[in-house]
Amino acid sequence: MGSASSAYRVIYLDVDGRIQKVVFSRFCSPYDIKELFCTALGLPRNTTLSLLDSTGAMVSIDPTMPHNTESPGPKSVPYNDCTMSLLLSLSLPLSLSLSLPLFYFLTLFFRLFPSFYLPFLFFLSLSRSLALSLSLCPSLFLCRAFKINELKTEVTNRLAMLEKRVELEGMKVVEIEKCRSDIKKLREEMASRNNRLVTCHFLDDNKKLTPRRDVPSYPKYHLSQETVEALRQPTFDVWQWEPNEMLSCLEHMYHDLDLVKDFNMNPITLKRWLLCIHDNYRMNPFHNFRHCFCVTQMMYSMICLCSLQETFTQVDILILMTAAVCHDLDHPGYNNMYQINARTELAVRYNDISPLENHHCAIAFQIFSQPDCNIFSTFDPEAFKQIRQGIITLILATDMARHGEILDSFKHKVDSFDFTDEEHVTCLKMVLIKCCDISNEVRPMEVAEPWADCLLEEYFMQSDREKAEGLPVAPFMDREKVTKPTAQIGFIKFVLIPMFETVMKLFPQIEDVMVQPLRESRDRYEELKQIDDAMNELLTDWPDGQSKSFYQGMSTCTADYFSEQYLDFLLRCFF
């Protein structure tokens, strides 16, 4: 018995501590063996049995199942040479082993206190109340299964709700982004219309790069001797000329400086080029073709006044004049700060480094790339390269963000200036184009003042747009913070006068005609500011709201500072 080769097998079952020996033939079917086990356990014959070893592993009930030996102890039954014990697990109908009240009580108890279940099982195991422990298993497993199902349902529902919420929130984000995009487009369109801006082409549209009018229809003006003389002076009235007249004046300057003759320029090409330049300035309040003319005319007058042709080469003169003509080509009316903050196409293209000035250069040389407009067509490649580099250097120098750097460099050179030193000459040329670019206050008051209004108009246009787009606003551009006197005083005192006085060290002749007008302009604006401040003091105790708003309107309408109505208003109200 017990041998694997024996015709009989012996199994010892541990039933409630009682060891029941079961003997069956090797030729019994599994079904017969299970029936035999049920009989030995006192269970119905069709009860499903599960046989577990001491490790919890299920043991198949069939004739080949390994036999074991009688256990010395009540609990464990040695199983061959192993140390496994046989435990019996039964799936019983609940009523078989427990009275219903006890079952319900225990079921309820363990539902409420599930943590007691395992200790209880252990206790039953010790007390051999195997049937009880086993009979409780299904009910508790059912409870747990229900709980798991409930949890599953709840989790599924919550997941569905979350998914729905994510979907809705996602839709909201998409809608908000779309609204933002639409609003931005509308604002840009409105700003474009309000500012009378030409649509921003930025090198994509070559139409403007070719003159709209052909040269034969270009009106021919005969400049009077008086005009020719006046053109050499910083006092030249830039406001009384039509665009075609300004074009004729520019043309005259190139001839008068012998640039056409010395560089063998085609006069017709010069006309075409100037027409094309005119067409590539936009209708901005300030940065327009008239500003281009002003800067070039001031350069011309400085060349004449300082006799620069005696110290500079003709190539330098050509670079100075051409850079002045091209220096603000296709200016969009919004400065570099706006370009960078608004992340415009220009700022992206030029990596936030002088985007506008780089753009002006690019447009200038795109125009030169057309043979009909290339006034440098007679230049050999090396000469063209020199001219190109010179023009680019000067146009890039007009970025006011570089003002301190360029002026400091010039101050270091001016006391020992060497006209044969290329670096010195380049630095001087950079300072000269900077002087001309911001030289309006050098001009007589009646010529200069409208420019201040134009510049403020362009600034306000920008600050309004910056506010609308939620971008940072510079205080000197904010219509609620700046007035013409406050804007001009700081600029004249801290930017213009120091720069022109430094140039004056090299060219003392500019003092009377350029530096002195700047000092007078500074004094005039300081007087205006004093009046403004006095008005604001009185305004704090102003009793009549309507009059107050009228005065406020007057104080910001700085063009009226000198009007008779304004003086009359002051006299009637305050004196």
Binding residues for AMP: 287-291, 328, 437, 488
Determine how many CB atoms are found less than 10 A away from the CB of residue 29. Answer: 12
3-class DSSP state of 500? helix
Q: How far is CA 75 from CA 37, 41, 334, in A?
A: 18, 16, 94
Q: What token pair was written down for 133? A: 């422990």
Q: What token pair was written down for 421? A: 């030193």
3-class DSSP state of 19? strand
Of 238, 183, 246, the closest CA to residue 218 belongs to: 246
Q: What is the helix (H) or strand (E) element at residue 425, kind and residue range?
A: helix 422-437
Distance CA 482, CA 442 (A): 22
Stretch of 116-124, 235-243, 437-445, 510-518 contacting Zn ion, by CB under 5 A: 437-445
Of 195, 456, 474, the closest CA to residue 331 belongs to: 195
State the nearest-atom distance from the C-beta of 540 to Zn ion, in Å: 39
Nearer to Zn ion by Cβ, of 35 and 437: the residue is 437
Distance CA 49, CA 88 (A): 8
Residues that constitute the known binding site for Zn(2+) = 291, 327-328, 437
Residues that constitute the known binding site = 287-291, 327-328, 437, 488
Residue among 67, 287, 360, 424 flagged as catalytic = 287
From residue 222 to residue 241, the character string flagging contacts with Zn ion as x (rule: CB under 5 A) and all else as - is --------------------
Please give the torsion angle defined by the CA atoms of residues 288, 293, 296 and 301, in that order, rounded to the nearest 10 degrees: -140
Determine whether 287 is an active site residue: yes
Stretch of 5-13, 50-58, 104-112, 321-329 contacting Zn ion, by CB under 5 A: 321-329
Nearer to Zn ion by Cβ, of 328 and 466: the residue is 328
Nearer to Zn ion by Cβ, of 90 and 303: the residue is 303
Distance CA 350, CA 364 (A): 16
Nearer to Zn ion by Cβ, of 286 and 312: the residue is 286
Stretch of 243-251, 323-331, 337-345, 510-518 contacting Zn ion, by CB under 5 A: 323-331
* Residue count, binding to Zn ion (CB under 5 A): 2
Nearer to Zn ion by Cβ, of 85 and 322: the residue is 322
Stretch of 42-50, 91-99, 191-199, 430-438 contacting Zn ion, by CB under 5 A: 430-438
**245 φ/ψ angles, rounded to the nearest 5 degrees:** -70, -40
The reply on whether position 328 binds Zn ion by CB under 5 A is yes
Q: What token pair was written down for 2? A: 């017990």
State the nearest-atom distance from the C-beta of 338 to Zn ion, in Å: 16
State the nearest-atom distance from the C-beta of 483 to Zn ion, in Å: 23
Distance CA 62, CA 100 (A): 34
Cα angle, residue 272 at apex, residues 271 and 274 outer, rounded to 5°: 65
State the nearest-atom distance from the C-beta of 324 to Zn ion, in Å: 9
State the nearest-atom distance from the C-beta of 291 to Zn ion, in Å: 6
The reply on whether position 437 binds Zn ion by CB under 5 A is yes
Positions in 333-352 near Zn ion (CB under 5 A): none
For every residue of 269-313, DSSP letters joined together read HHHHHHHHHHHTS---SSSSHHHHHHHHHHHHHHHHHTTHHHHS-
Instruction: Report whether 110 contacts 117 (CB < 8 A).
Output: yes
Nearer to Zn ion by Cβ, of 134 and 395: the residue is 395
Distance CA 385, CA 315 (A): 12
Nearer to Zn ion by Cβ, of 284 and 521: the residue is 284
Instruction: Report whether 288 contacts 321 (CB < 8 A).
Output: no
Stretch of 166-174, 229-237, 324-332, 476-484 contacting Zn ion, by CB under 5 A: 324-332
- Partnered with residue 11 across adjacent β-strands are 22
State the nearest-atom distance from the C-beta of 303 to Zn ion, in Å: 18
State the nearest-atom distance from the C-beta of 574 to Zn ion, in Å: 40
Distance CA 467, CA 469 (A): 5
Q: Which residues are known catalytic residues?
A: 287
Site residues for Zn ion per CB under 5 A? 328, 437
